[in-house]
Amino acid sequence: MTQLTNQSSDVVIDTLLTQLTLKEKISFLVGANVWETVPIERLNIPSLRVTDGPNGARGSQFFDGTTAACFPACVSIAATFNGDLTKQIGIALGQESQTKGAYVLLGPTVCSHRSPLGGRNFEAFSEDPLLSGVLAAEYVKGLQSERVSGTIKHFLGNEQDTRRFTVNEIISERALREIYLRPFEIVIKTADPWCLMTSYPKINGKHVDTSNEFLQKILREEWKYPGLVMSDWGATTSTVESLNAGLDLEMPGKTKWRSLEQVKQALEAGTLTESTIEDRARAVLRLLKKTGKFDDRKDDIVETAVDLPEHRKLICHAGAEGIVLLKNAENILPLDKSKCKKIALLGPLAKYPAAHAGGSASLNCHYKVSPFDAFSSRLGEDTIIAYSKGAHIFRVHPDMEKECKTSTGNNGFEAEYWKNSTFEGEPFHTAEFARGSFTTLMDTAVEGKLSVRFTTTYTPTETSSPYLSFSTMGPSKMYVNDVTLFEQAEATKDSMAFLLGVQDELHSQYLFEAGKSYKIRIDNVSSPEPNGELYLLDGQIAAHLGFIPQVEMELDVLSEATELAKEADVAIVCVGNTAQWETEGQDMDDMNLPADGSQDRLIAAVAAVNPRTIVVNTIGVAVTTPWLDSVPAFLQAWYAGQESGNAIFDHTAVYGNFGMDSYESRQVEYVEGVFVGYRHFDRMWGTEKEVRWPFGFGLSYTSFEISGAKVEGSLEAPGGHGPVITADIKNVGGFAGAEVVQAYILPPKASDDHVIKSLVGFAKMTLEPSEIGRISIDVNVLQAAYWHVESRKWKIKAGTYKLWVSTSSSPDDRKAELEIVVEKAFFIDP
């Protein structure tokens, strides 16, 4: 391969294509395994490894893999409104990916936040397509500066997780163009991402992987996208249609749709041509070239944990900048240390470092800093930190872990694997796990029809009756000293929910005596029936053994927290979601904090006894706040990454048409059209439905004045280069701080089918007290256009457009109103 390294990409690819056999070209159409493409050893063509995910490079193990840096979730990044910072995060993620031998990162997610119930909202940026697209582009630019490909996903319509594998989404053409396609368009046209991932759902009756409309006409022809298109894992739905539509790579391997036999049959039938096969193979080879796999990057890299100080600093800074101050009565924040000699740090997330949510975004962090860790280590001995959990919010019991030993004397559990359902003969593979859960899914070491025996020896130091829970994917039994405690006769009712750690099925207490050893064994076989709507789950085995100490479960933590709050100078209540409550694969049932009102009761009880109560909410979505009037301060902390505790220290229109009416339903209609997020709530100003915190809102510890706003240029300028908005900003407060200036455009005539306004640009500036700066916002003409369905083009209306210079989408936060006139309506080709 040395002779190819200094040649142009086209020469390299063309040379290799002439040397490949048809069989070898076909092999490129699908992954070699869960995370890699197929190598061709005889031509020295290496494999290419990919890795999840959007907030950290996890590596090849879905659970308990090599540790990795955990960055803030994309929703937290979006709250910074900071493109430069987003690019720095992309650069660092590119560096992290390389420590895992991976040169494709499966992110960022740029799907829109259609509903606050979206279980995966945290993984995407925003409800606004401009903000999502601009920041995702910077993220991709950072990644690819390290020769690590970004993978924008999930193209298209992955706004809900309820039945996402089979749902048919009815979306109007205008909504598709103005809301759901727009962020992808921005990234593709401004950042040249090397990979794009298709989604699971059908859109208007057709899966994206088979859609000529989306993959050929829009993506390839209109947007001139030259990169590779891969499927989400298991989202390929056909052989011929997907290949002809332009899906280059089916993931993962082994294939369901692109075996040698299937493809050859299509070629023989004339429904597929060899030139199409060659086009798909060419895309894979181009990606290998772009990521340096024909140059200095080899396949023998061992996954390593590289915990860089500069990454720690970046994660902490980004996490803190993403935190949004929503309420600060009487300027209680920032806290005066001299008046806080005793702090009550309360809540289920006070000692739980909510670095990330669940699913593809999860990873084994280098470390995680909880709020308790940060406050305890940084305040010093002169400040007393009192802690209470205050509320139980288990969705499933935590994995059994402590006081467990394998047969080799290591901490944890041991798994033995057989290729039969009767545990006959010797196991063909063994593995050890740190805690009471395992899965065969995405484990490249085990394949085929299996049975698994999962064992540990538990020796408690205290006599008690802990609370146990049990669930598996296939039929199973759980024994204590060879006596059956649990039996699950059939496959789990929801395999995806189980795998993501949000479902327990069997519960019991069991008396364990101190000093006595107990042999715990789970015998688990694969189910002969399908394990759900996703074929990748078929035949898989997984188990979860949950454990909560008796004293922990039965303690009155609410009373304990209230008593501590009474005696404290200030009470900080840390609430929100965990990875069990907010995860890929599960939308939320409502907008309340989990579980069963326990966190709301905790906040209300603490606020009743301590008037200096601060609420810190770590979550990826909006929630109800029935206690807000009784607390002086409220911060939205998001998922800030492994430094979340330090970051905290430093610092809907679709109701009834989201998810499903019933489990059996397979269709959902995007009835709101283009009125998503603030575009909907704009119509509610002045009514009882007016939102408390508008899009883009956030308080500061200082104050700013915005003056001298003006606009130059025209919406009718050629090439899409529209007007430029400038304004002066002055910090008139006593602290250094940053302000985000947002520009919104209002079309000439409001109507039922046009939004009142849209974000067209933003700028962020940090200023010292009394410092003055000038911001500049370039407005792209397309941001002022709407999709004209009849002509299938973008249209700019004639008339007077208003431009708001603002600090949120609220009319109350408008700082200046400018005007720009379009004399004659015109169209713009897509």
Specify which residues 765 forms β-bridges with. Answer: 739
How many alpha carbons fall within 13 Å on the CB side of residue 38? 21
Pair 105, 51: CB distance under 8 Å:
yes
User: H or E segment at 570?
Assistant: strand 570-576
Peptide bond into 595 cis (omega under 30): yes
Which residue intervals of 177-228 are DSSP H helices? 182-191, 212
Q: Which two tokens stand for residue 571?
A: 């009470």
Q: Which class does domain 2-290 fall in?
A: alpha beta
What are 236-294's pLDDT values in tens digits? Answer: 999 999 999 999 999 999 899 999 999 999 999 999 999 999 999 999 999 999 999 99
Pair 509, 466: CB distance under 8 Å:
yes
Range(s) for CATH 2.60.120.260 in the chain? 404-553
Give the whole-angstrom CA distance, residue 392 versus residue 598.
7
Query: CATH classification of 309-392+558-649 is 3.40.50.1700, yes or no?
Result: yes
Q: Which two tokens stand for residue 392?
A: 């139980």
Give percent of the chain above pLDDT 70: 96
pLDDT of residue 300: 66
Q: How confident is the model at residue 301 (pLDDT cuts 50, 70, 90)?
A: confident
* Mean pLDDT (whole number) for 497-525: 89
Pair 33, 251: CB distance under 8 Å:
no
pLDDT at 503 over 80: no
pLDDT at 656 over 60: no
What are 700-723's pLDDT values in tens digits? Answer: 999 999 999 999 999 987 666 789
pTM: 0.94
Among candidates 629, 765, 677, which has minimal Cα distance to 327? 629
Give the whole-angstrom CA distance, residue 426 versus residue 413.
18
Give the whole-angstrom CA distance, residue 406 versus residue 412.
6
Give the whole-angstrom CA distance, residue 33 versus residue 99.
20
Q: Which of 191-195, 236-240, 553-557, 686-690 has the lowest mean pLDDT?
A: 686-690
Is 129 in a helix, a strand, or coil?
A: helix
pLDDT of residue 43: 94
Pair 117, 355: CB distance under 8 Å:
no
CA 755-136-589 angle, 5° bins:
65
What are 761-785's pLDDT values in tens digits? Answer: 999 999 999 999 999 999 999 999 9
Give the whole-angstrom CA distance, residue 611 versus residue 607.
6
Pair 801, 748: CB distance under 8 Å:
yes
pLDDT of residue 379: 87
**500 φ/ψ sector (left φ>0, alpha ψ -120 to 50, else beta):** alpha
Residue 753 burial (10 A CB sphere; 0-12, 13-18, 19+):
exposed
pLDDT of residue 652: 42
Range(s) for CATH 3.40.50.1700 in the chain? 309-392+558-649
Residues 404-553, CATH architecture? Sandwich (2.60)
Pair 374, 577: CB distance under 8 Å:
no
pLDDT of residue 339: 86
Give the whole-angstrom CA distance, residue 424 versus residue 365.
38
pLDDT of residue 657: 62
pLDDT of residue 677: 87
Pair 646, 374: CB distance under 8 Å:
yes
Q: How many helices (H) and strands (E) does the chain have?
A: 19, 36
* Mean pLDDT (whole number) for 163-170: 91
Range(s) for CATH 3.20.20.300 in the chain? 2-290
The position carrying tokens 């395994």 is 33
| AA letter at 252 | P
* Mean pLDDT (whole number) for 796-816: 96
pLDDT at 651 over 90: no
Q: How confident is the model at residue 662 (pLDDT cuts 50, 70, 90)?
A: very low
Pair 396, 469: CB distance under 8 Å:
yes
Pair 634, 587: CB distance under 8 Å:
no
How many alpha carbons fall within 13 Å on the CB side of residue 460? 16
User: H or E segment at 644?
Assistant: helix 644-649
DSSP 414: E
Largest CA distance in the chain: 87
Q: How confident is the model at residue 750 (pLDDT cuts 50, 70, 90)?
A: low
* Mean pLDDT (whole number) for 196-213: 97
The size of the chain, in residues, is: 830
CA 295-296-300 angle, 5° bins:
120
Among candidates 136, 99, 563, which has minimal Cα distance to 346? 563
Q: What are phi and psi of 538, to 5 degrees?
A: -65, 130
Which active-site residues does the annotation give? 232
Give the whole-angstrom CA distance, residue 727 versus residue 524.
66
* Mean pLDDT (whole number) for 537-564: 94
Q: Which two tokens stand for residue 537?
A: 């789950």
Range(s) for CATH 2.60.40.10 in the chain? 678-828
Q: Which class does domain 678-828 fall in?
A: mainly beta
Q: Which of 77-86, 372-381, 756-765 has the lowest mean pLDDT?
A: 372-381
